[in-house]
Amino acid sequence: MNIPAEVPPKPLRWRRIVVKLSGEALMGARSHGLDPDVLAAIAGDLKNVAARGVEVAAVVGGGNFFRGIEGADKGIERARADSIGMLATVMNALALEHAIEKQGQAARTMSALPMPAICEAYSREAALHHLGKRRIVVLGGGTGNPFFTTDTGAALRGAELSCDLIMKATQVDGVYSADPKRDSRAIRFEQLTHDEAIARNLAVMDTAAFALARENGIPIIVFSIKNPGAILSALEGRGNATLVSP
């Protein structure tokens, strides 16, 4: 009896990507903090993407612990509140790094805020070195400056590291004309240009992030992180997602 040879998966279109993960994505159904099962699932997904030959950087938010703009609304000076939020992103980066390593995949946390006692300071050259060694680079600290979101941080790192693609993981399956949780008439877009996303003021990413991606010709895939294997599925073109391209 002849057993058919296993067909290898098709090579992915993308060579190097940056994945933007919100802090909320890491807390699952909890009200705050981290969900170990969710962390493990996302780490496994990132490992599977790396196993397909893609160089992977991940930018993490910090909203599951502290969001700078909300702290400012509560009376904390905005620059100080954003600094607290950046610290929260490093906490998430360290947790994700550990989860990835538990999957047997090498990873490195790099922070835009120098914290030599706990992780490596971000530099473009060092990040490119780690990516070339097939390590997943987990980027914390945002841009290292207040008043910039981690979405903008993802676009900035995508440009700096010559990424082919920015992946924006959200709680919905793409970019909609309005918030689909509030407006049942909201329409999901299959494709958009950066200019259209900016002109329509579509809030899935901030304008600075869209503009930076546009200026550097980097496409963005917006997809839902809720389902297992969502990152690899989006890269393979399976399931719902929105492609925002130049």
Can you tell me which residue has the tokens 């490195």?
108
Residue 120 domain-assigned? Answer: yes
Q: Residue 5: what pLDDT?
A: 53
For strands 191-193 and 175-176, give the pairing: unpaired
Q: CATH number of the domain that 231 lies in?
A: 3.40.1160.10
Give the rounded percent of residues in the chain with a pLDDT score beyond 90: 80
**CA–CA dist 216, 243 (Å, integer):** 16
Which spans in the chain are helix H?
23-27, 36-51, 68-73, 78-102, 124-132, 150-160, 194-199, 207-215, 230-235
Classify residue 3: in a domain, yes or no: no
Residue 1 lies in a domain: no
- The two most distant CA atoms of the chain are separated, in Å, by 73
243 bridge partner residues: 191, 221
pLDDT score of 11: 74
What are the C-alpha distances in Å from 203 to residues 228, 238, 243? 25, 24, 15
Residue 9 located in a structural domain: no
Whether 226 is covered by a domain: the verdict is yes
Domain region containing 205: 16-245
Tens-place pLDDT, residues 158-209:
999 999 999 999 989 999 998 888 898 999 999 999 999 999 988 788 899 9
Q: CA dihedral in degrees (68, 72, 74, 75; nearest 10)?
A: 140
Scored b (16 or more CB within 10 A) or e, 44-83 reads bbbbbbbeeebbbbbbbbbbbbbbbeebbeeebeeeebbb
Rama region for 26: left / alpha / beta (φ>0; ψ in -120 to 50; rest): alpha
Higher pLDDT: 1 or 49? It is 49
210 closest CA partner among 147, 161, 168: 168
Q: What is the mean pLDDT of the chain?
A: 92
Under DSSP, the state recorded for 32 is S
Taking each helix axis as running N to C, give the angle between helix 36-51 and helix 78-102, from 0 to 180 degrees, rounded to the nearest 10. 70
83 vs 28, which has greater pLDDT?
83
pTM to 2 decimal places: 0.92
Q: Measure CA 26 to chain center.
A: 11
Structural domain tally of the chain? 1
pLDDT above 80 (res 71): no
Residue 11, in any domain of the structure: no
> How many whole angstroms separate alpha carbon 50 and alpha carbon 69?
34
Q: Is residue 4 part of a domain?
A: no
In a domain, 6, yes or no: no
Question: How many Å separate Cα 178 from the centre of its chain?
Answer: 22
Predicted confidence (pLDDT) at residue 225 exceeds the cutoff of 90:
yes
Residue 174's contacts (CB-CB under 8 Å, 6 or more residues apart) are 188, 189, 190, 222, 223, 224, 240, 241, 242
Please tell me the distance from the alpha carbon of residue 165 to that of residue 158, in angstroms, as a whole number.
Answer: 7
- 23-42: per-residue pLDDT in tens? 999 998 888 899 999 999 99
